[in-house]
Amino acid sequence: MYTFYYYFILVISILILYIFFLLSIAFFTLIERKIMGAIQRRVGPNVVGFQGLGQPFADGLKLLLKQTVIPTKSNEFIFVISPILALFFSLIMLSVIPFNSMGSFNNSNINLLILFMISSFNVYSVLLGGWSSNSKYAFLGAIRSASQMISYEVILFFSLIPILYLTSSANIQEIVFLQRNCWIIFIYPGIALIFFLGMLAELNRAPFDLPEAEAELVAGFNVEYSSMSFALFFLGEYGNIIIMSSLFALLFLGGWFFPIFVINFNYIIESYIMSIKLSIVSYLIVGVRAYLPRMRFDQLMALCWKHLLLLTIGTFSYYLGVYNVFYAYYMYNIGL
């Protein structure tokens, strides 16, 4: 009986988490359009419901009722399965993210590495979706997306190495607990900036939104998708934004802790603190889209391999040298 109730509560908890996650994606699209409207001095969605609160549900209902169009000479199975994979990988990554000190559903010692392993699979849904559409525009967008995502995954991984070296742990919850008194962003501000830039490129967000450049590629790899197939790609993309914003808050902003006042909150207040930090990072991602123009593709790849990669390695080498000097000085003073 204990086993039955345990698994019953576990399944209910997972369902509640995923329902709120999907609702968060829906309202995030509304908030993004509101912020973009305010920055560009225009009116955002304000017709459906009070102040436009019903707009996400109206958009979802419209996509649900539209007819799914499959290109004649496309690979139908891969064409249909690609957007499902995009949302599936996003939901799997959510199980690794802890929103309070209770931990996550997958609280293994290497869950940070597991999250990045799963995120690397997102490139397959984009590649398969662009290739199976049998469209030159979709295929060109898929090739651009694959080269961009694979390149900036290297930047994200190299920016993780200083954190793993500092904390000696690949468990996200342990990394957060080690930031009770000082956030990692105060120790590695340069690494945090590099991680944020790599995160923008990995998410295909402006100014690195070359795979979906509407003025150049007619929306890129998802140009042939419509109705719920497009909605699944849309949910997967914005779900990844929320997950990566959460990861940035966990790795660099102390998660559910404050830097000075170490207070033991309950799980609900910890979740609220985590949500505030997540919202701040998400606002920065949206703000960058409104403030900065799109880069050329050759500039994007040059920024990765010629500048950010060398800057990441150099920054880590500098921090490593400073750490070893202080460590040697400390060992000398205590007589070792």
327 or 74, higher pLDDT: 74
Residues 327, 323: Cα–Cα separation, whole Å: 6
The pLDDT tens digits for 258-294 are 765 555 667 778 888 888 899 999 999 988 888 888 8
The answer to whether residue 1 scores a pLDDT higher than 60 is no
Mean pLDDT over 200-219 rounds to 74
User: How crowded is residue 207: how many other Cβ atoms within 10 Å of its Cβ?
Assistant: 17
Residues 216, 233: Cα–Cα separation, whole Å: 20
pLDDT at 281: 93
Mean pLDDT over 92-101 rounds to 87
- Residues 6+ away with beta carbon under 8 Å from 123: 145, 146, 149, 150
pLDDT at 269: 82
The pLDDT tens digits for 159-189 are 888 888 888 888 999 999 888 888 899 888 8
pLDDT at 232: 92
Could you identify the residue written with the tokens 């994979």? 85
pLDDT at 88: 92
Chain-centre distance for alpha carbon 30: 18
Residues 29, 45: Cα–Cα separation, whole Å: 11
pLDDT at 262: 53
Residue 204 region by backbone torsions, left for phi larger than 0, else alpha for psi between -120 and 50, else beta: left
Which helix (DSSP H) or strand (DSSP E) does residue 153 occupy? helix 136-167
What is the biggest distance separating any 2 CA atoms in the chain, rounded to whole angstroms? Answer: 77
The pLDDT tens digits for 110-141 are 888 889 888 888 889 989 998 999 888 888 88
Residues 309, 321: Cα–Cα separation, whole Å: 18
The pLDDT tens digits for 138-166 are 888 888 888 888 889 889 988 888 888 88
Pair of tokens at residue 119: 């995120």
Burial level of 63, CB count in 10 A (0-12/13-18/19+)?
middle
Contacts 24+ apart (CB under 8 A), 103-107: 103/173, 104/172, 104/173, 105/14, 107/171, 107/173
The answer to whether residue 316 scores a pLDDT higher than 60 is yes
pLDDT at 196: 93
The answer to whether residue 2 scores a pLDDT higher than 90 is no
What percent of the residues of the chain are helix, what percent strand, and what percent coil, each to the nearest 5? 75, 0, 25
Helix (H, G, I), strand (E, B) or coil at 103: coil
- Residues 6+ away with beta carbon under 8 Å from 75: 131, 132, 134
Helix (H, G, I), strand (E, B) or coil at 69: coil
- Helical segments of 203-226, H only: 214-217
pLDDT at 260: 58
Confidence band for 40, pLDDT divided at 50, 70 and 90:
confident
The answer to whether residue 336 scores a pLDDT higher than 60 is no
pLDDT at 211: 67
Pair of tokens at residue 106: 């997958």
